[in-house]
């Protein structure tokens, strides 16, 4: 909203402006049902504008600290980085009043968003801007403009007779133009200073970029060396694993061969036992229902009885010979 008031001399128009901006909600998009492409783009633009506004507040706060320390050098505000800060340019420069109103939510699931809003508002609350009392000629516009160019008007006056009225008119026109020239020179000096500060900031950013590139290159070189070492170690352990796997396979193959040989020998031994058992049964008249163990036990028992009987006969023959 723009209000124009006529000055007392009716020569200029004083312009007053009132700007109201709504930042919309800061809730996460996943908590809302609006997930359209246009909504996402608008949310990103709002977040970028709020971030730039915070940078401006940070620069103003740093300027306040510099004034307290005795350093009156002011930093350049990054108000050109977004349309929002361009809109609030004159207010950020102390040429108007700037008020921020924040709406808080008591919902537990919106705690993080509420905390961020409080941080932004506290940052704005702690920022102070020196109020400019000097009249800004940029908003003082002539009410009546001449119908022709100034050069045409001067040429016409040179052709005609010079009168006191024309001389007075030239003086009035000169008085009107002189403040505008001064304002333009002042604005030009400010722009040159801002451009110089921008150049210094750009040089600083370029130096930081070069430092970051050097640091990242060194880090990448270190990571490449680490990855190469890891690759060599991986190849070593892989070869070791293949070697152990081959040894294990050979041992398993040898164990399987020995097991097969053992089973073959066991089958041959079982056949031999069956053959001997059959012969013992036929020799000693043992029942066919007796198993190998029972047959061997009976054979051993008979063998022991025969040995005992033979021992008794030998003892009796020895006694008879002595008699």
> How do residues 198-244 score in pLDDT, each as one tens digit?
888 888 888 888 888 888 888 888 888 888 888 888 888 888 899 99
Note the pLDDT of residue 165.
46
Do residues 316 and 310 lie in contact, with contact meaning Cβ atoms separated by under 8 Å? no
Looking at domain 2-145, its CATH architecture is: Up-down Bundle (1.20)
Give pTM, 2 decimals: 0.37
Note the pLDDT of residue 52.
85
Band (40; pLDDT cuts 50, 70, 90): confident
* Distance of alpha carbon 149 from alpha carbon 155, whole angstroms: 10
3-state secondary structure 51-107: HHHHHHHHHHHHHHHHHHHCCCCCCCCCHHHCHHHHHCHHHHCCCCCCCCCCCCCCC
Residue 160 pLDDT > 70: no
3-class SS shares of the chain: helix, strand, coil, % to 5: 70, 5, 25
- What is the residue-averaged pLDDT of the chain? 73
Note the pLDDT of residue 163.
46
């Amino acid at each position: 909203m723009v209000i124009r008031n006529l000055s007392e001399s009716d020569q200029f128009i004083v312009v007053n402006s009132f700007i109201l901006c709504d930042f919309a909600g800061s809730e996460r998009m996943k908590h809302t049902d609006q997930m359209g492409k246009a909504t996402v783009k608008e949310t990103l633009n709002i977040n970028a504008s709020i971030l730039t506004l915070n940078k401006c507040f940070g620069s103003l706060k740093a300027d306040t600290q510099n004034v307290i320390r005795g350093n009156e050098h002011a930093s350049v505000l990054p108000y050109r980085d977004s349309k929002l800060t361009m809109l609030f340019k004159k207010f950020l420069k102390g040429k108007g009043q700037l008020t921020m109103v924040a709406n808080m939510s008591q919902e537990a699931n919106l705690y993080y968003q509420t905390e961020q809003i409080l941080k932004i508002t506290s940052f704005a609350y702690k920022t102070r801007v020196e109020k400019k009392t000097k009249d800004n000629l940029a908003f003082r516009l002539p009410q009546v403009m001449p119908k022709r160019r100034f050069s045409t008007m001067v040429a016409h006056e040179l052709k005609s007779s010079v009168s006191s009225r024309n001389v007075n008119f030239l003086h009035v026109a000169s008085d009107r133009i002189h403040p505008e020239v001064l304002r333009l020179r002042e604005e030009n000096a400010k722009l040159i200073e801002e451009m110089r500060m921008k150049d210094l900031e750009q040089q600083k950013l370029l130096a930081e970029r070069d430092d970051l590139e050097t640091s990242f290159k060194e880090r990448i070189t270190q990571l490449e060396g680490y990855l190469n070492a890891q690759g060599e170690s991986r190849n070593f352990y892989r070869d070791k694993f293949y070697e152990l796997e081959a040894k294990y396979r050979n041992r398993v193959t040898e164990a399987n061969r020995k097991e097969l040989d053992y089973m073959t020998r066991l089958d041959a031994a079982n056949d031999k036992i069956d053959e001997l058992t059959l012969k013992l049964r036929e020799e000693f008249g043992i029942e066919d229902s007796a198993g190998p163990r029972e047959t061997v036990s009976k054979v051993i028992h008979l063998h022991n009885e025969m040995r005992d009987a033979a021992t008794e006969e030998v003892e009796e023959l020895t006694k008879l010979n002595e008699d």
